[in-house]
């Protein structure tokens, strides 16, 4: 009998229906809320078009190599993050556990952000929009005090949505409306991830493509708004002198890193469901480039709308001044227009300076309105909602906008949940008899119960803490150990052979240099810069306190020591698994082998993984 031909072994592992699903899932995971509300902000504060230079350099030397590394790793080993790293080397199993831990922590708070989006979405069906008017106070003589002093949009966000407490230590009560929305969000996540990639693969067609449609609609609408061109000019005008500031380079490196969702284990999980012979090099480059282009594409409507908002704010300021001047001097209506405001002001200032001074006119500076830059939740829930009120047909725009944010966040949640789900499925502790539906149900239920703490009055402060500490530093550490582990422990020569098996091409010089030297070095520099910046100033947060003298400005407060301890714990917990597991393995080895000779780790290669 001759040797049987190579029959691909049916190992019962689920696979993608087609390659498009896989690429779309990776893109959906990478493209998230940060592309919409962090990248445009960074562009704005770091000199507009000039920011693209450090951004693309970071993409080239840090983003794409790390992405290729993860995708190739998952495809070669065909296991989730914990199993994959255990297979590379038992001493590196901690890297997998660390990624798993980060995915858990991030899933918890990320879905709460989606809860807020969902709350705004279901409130967008009202006429007028609830964040456009201030409610009345108790005796109906005027507007609610807190709302009147800040704006209606601020009031709806801080009071009606979050019901925020003035301090992180005051927990407040559970907000029942947020609990309902949180339950709905986790139900949606459960629905989409109920059978792993079988179901997320179908859902991703909608959640990954829909945001692009809405962005295009907003692009067209945004460009027709007055003041859009000012906003865009402001965004993209390059100011090359900002490149001298090292902070800009650090922000570019961190933005690329977090934007591509590296070191979560989700990308490893996604590519582990691929057939072994798949060109992951092309996939990695495609995903990275699409992610960056999406960031650029999203910043255009965002900045058109911001320019529109600055223009309307400027016009409102002018109009208010004009009314007070007309009232004071009893001039006929329409005598002072926006265009000749400055000439009138200078004329009146020279002829009646005391009267003008007595009016206490606010200085209207267009640049000042443009400079009000916000990122994160403030951009979406305060600035953008305010701009939406000013557009005609606000309900439709609000509904579209919040569905888009929800889809963006949901497709990233799929990646996070896969990063948690896939390694658990492969653990031998969980027996094969537990159906996938039950496991995903248990994960979603436990996450929902833990995430209830984020629906407290102080919930948004805690989410900031999680975002700043759990979702940043550990990822850098894990990514660093990933690169070092593959290049120096597994040996890049062996990995090169495996990659050649999968893609049919040898690793070219670009990958060799970036994997061996540039990426680990960059990660180390970014990590140290990050830590130094964190240590330099004592961590503080901005609290919304209606009783503060400077209200509606936010009050700067420092974290009390027990909160600081939690921050440090969040940052250290995933990282500590790396040395911990290595230590445990060492102890196990030393106990098992009584001989002083060192037992080499099992020789393993990608080709051996499948048969």
Partner 1 sequence: YTWDANEEYLFKAMVAFAMRKYSRKSTTQISNVLLCNVTDRVSFWFVVTDSSKNVTTVPGSEVEAAIRMNRNRINSAFLLSEKTLQFLKITSTLSPPVEPSTPVWLIVFGVVLCLIVAAIVFLIVAGIQQRKKKNKESTERENLEEKGEVTVTVENGSPCEALDLKAGHVNGVFAADDERFTSL
Chain contacts with partner 1 (rule: CB under 8 A)? 1-2, 4-5, 119, 122-123, 125-126, 128, 133, 135-136, 140-143, 180-181, 183-184, 187-188, 190-191, 194-195, 199, 326-327, 330-333, 435, 437
Residues 6+ apart with CB under 8 A from 435: none
**Closest approach of Cβ 473 to partner 1, in Å?**
35
* CB closer to partner 1 out of 333 and 602: 333
What b/e sequence results for 75-92 when a residue is b if at least 16 CB atoms lie within 10 Å of its CB, and e otherwise?
bbbbbbbbbbbbbbbbbb
Q: What are phi and psi of 94, to 5 degrees?
A: -60, -30
**Closest approach of Cβ 17 to partner 1, in Å?**
17
Helix 93-123 to helix 176-193 angle, to the nearest 10 degrees? Answer: 120
* CB closer to partner 1 out of 100 and 401: 401
**Closest approach of Cβ 190 to partner 1, in Å?**
6
Provide the β-strand partners of residue 234.
none
**Side-chain-facing half-sphere of 420: CA atoms under 13 Å:** 22
Indicate the length of the chain as a whole number: 611
**Closest approach of Cβ 533 to partner 1, in Å?**
41
Is residue 48 within 8 Å of residue 235, measured between CB atoms?
yes
Angle at 350 between CA 348 and CA 355, to 5 degrees: 55
**Closest approach of Cβ 388 to partner 1, in Å?**
17
* CB closer to partner 1 out of 6 and 354: 6
* CB closer to partner 1 out of 100 and 344: 344
The two three-digit tokens of residue 113, written as one number:
């952000």
Residues 6+ apart with CB under 8 A from 305: 218, 222, 225, 228, 231, 384, 387
* CB closer to partner 1 out of 135 and 546: 135
Q: Cα-Cα-Cα-Cα dihedral of 18, 23, 25, 27, to 10°?
A: -160
**Closest approach of Cβ 261 to partner 1, in Å?**
25
Q: Is 490 helix (H, G, I), strand (E, B) or coil?
A: coil
* CB closer to partner 1 out of 437 and 555: 437
From residue 360, alpha-carbon distances to 324, 328, 352, 363 in Å are 9, 12, 14, 9
First CA to last CA across the chain, in angstroms? 20
What distance in Å separates the CA atoms of residue 453 and residue 445, rounded to the nearest whole number? 14
**Closest approach of Cβ 142 to partner 1, in Å?**
7
* CB closer to partner 1 out of 132 and 304: 132
What distance in Å separates the CA atoms of residue 582 and residue 350, rounded to the nearest whole number? 79
Annotated binding site: 28, 30-31, 35, 259, 291, 408, 412
Annotated binding site for Na(+): 28, 30-31, 35, 259, 291, 408, 412
CB count within 10 Å of CB 447 equals 21
Listing DSSP states for 316-355 in one string gives HHHHHHHHHHHHHHTPPTTSS-STTHHHHHHHHHHH-HHH
Provide the β-strand partners of residue 271.
none
* CB closer to partner 1 out of 115 and 514: 115
**Closest approach of Cβ 436 to partner 1, in Å?**
8
* CB closer to partner 1 out of 189 and 228: 189
CB count within 10 Å of CB 206 equals 12
**Closest approach of Cβ 355 to partner 1, in Å?**
15
Provide the β-strand partners of residue 555.
543
* CB closer to partner 1 out of 129 and 263: 129
**Closest approach of Cβ 193 to partner 1, in Å?**
11
């Amino acid at each position: 009998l001759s040797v049987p031909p190579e029959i691909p072994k049916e190992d019962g592992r689920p696979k993608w229906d087609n390659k498009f699903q896989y690429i779309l899932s990776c893109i959906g995971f990478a493209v998230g809320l940060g592309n919409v509300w962090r990248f445009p902000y960074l562009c704005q504060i770091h000199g507009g078009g000039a920011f693209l230079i450090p951004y693309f350099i970071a993409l080239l030397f840090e983003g794409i190599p790390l992405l290729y590394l993860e995708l190739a790793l998952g495809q070669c080993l065909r296991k989730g993050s914990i199993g994959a790293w255990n297979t590379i080397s038992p001493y590196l199993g901690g890297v997998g556990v660390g990624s798993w831990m980060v995915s858990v922590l991030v899933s918890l708070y990320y879905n709460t952000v989606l809860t807020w989006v969902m709350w705004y979405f279901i409130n967008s069906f009202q006429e007028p929009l609830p964040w456009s008017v201030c409610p009345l106070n108790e005796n109906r003589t005027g507007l609610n005090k807190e709302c009147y002093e800040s704006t209606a949009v601020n009031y709806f966000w801080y009071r009606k949505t979050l019901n925020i407490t003035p301090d992180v230590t005051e927990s407040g009560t559970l907000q029942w409306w947020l609990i309902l929305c949180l339950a709905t969000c986790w139900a949606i996540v459960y629905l989409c991830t109920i059978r792993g990639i079988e179901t997320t693969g179908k859902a991703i067609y909608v959640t990954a493509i829909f945001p692009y449609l809405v962005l295009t609609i907003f692009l067209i609408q945004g460009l027709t708004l007055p003041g859009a061109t000012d906003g865009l000019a402001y965004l993209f005008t390059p100011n090359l002198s900002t490149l001298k500031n090292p902070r800009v380079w650090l922000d570019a490196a961190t933005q690329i890193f977090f934007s591509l969702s590296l070191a979560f284990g989700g990308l490893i999980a996604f590519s582990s469901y691929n057939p072994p012979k798949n060109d992951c090099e092309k996939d990695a480059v495609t995903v990275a480039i699409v992610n960056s282009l999406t960031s650029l594409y999203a910043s255009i409507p965002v900045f058109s709308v911001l320019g529109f908002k600055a223009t309307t704010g400027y016009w409102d300021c002018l109009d208010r001044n004009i009314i007070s001047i007309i009232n004071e001097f009893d001039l006929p209506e329409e005598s002072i227009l926006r265009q000749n405001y400055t000439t009138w002001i200078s004329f009146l200032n020279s002829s009646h300076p005391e009267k003008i001074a007595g009016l206490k006119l606010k200085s209207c500076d267009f640049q000042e309105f443009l400079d009000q830059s916000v990122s994160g939740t403030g951009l979406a829930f305060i600035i953008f909602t305010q701009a939406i009120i000013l557009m005609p047909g606000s309900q439709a725009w609000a509904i579209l906008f919040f569905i888009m944010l929800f889809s963006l966040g949901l497709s990233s949640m799929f990646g996070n949940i896969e990063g948690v789900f896939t390694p658990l499925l492969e653990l031998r502790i969980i027996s094969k008899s537990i159906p996938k539906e039950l496991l995903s149900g248990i994960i979603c239920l436990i996450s929902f119960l833990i995430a209830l703490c984020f629906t407290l009055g102080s919930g948004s402060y805690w989410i900031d803490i999680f975002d700043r500490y759990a979702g940043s530093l550990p990822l850098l550490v894990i990514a660093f150990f990933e690169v070092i582990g593959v290049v120096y422990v597994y040996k890049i020569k062996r990995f090169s052979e495996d990659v050649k098996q999968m893609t049919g091409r040898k690793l070219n010089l670009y990958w060799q240099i970036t994997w061996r030297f540039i990426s680990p070095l960059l990660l180390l520099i970014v990590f140290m810069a990050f830590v130094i910046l964190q240590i330099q100033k004592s961590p503080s947060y901005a609290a919304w306190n209606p009783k503060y003298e400077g209200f509606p400005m936010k009050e700067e407060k420092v974290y009390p020591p027990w909160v600081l301890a939690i921050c440090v714990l969040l940052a250290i917990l995933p990282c500590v698994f790396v040395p911990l597991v290595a230590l445990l393995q060492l102890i196990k080895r030393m106990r098992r082998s009584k001989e002083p000779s060192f037992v080499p780790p099992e020789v393993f290669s990608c080709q051996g993984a499948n048969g």
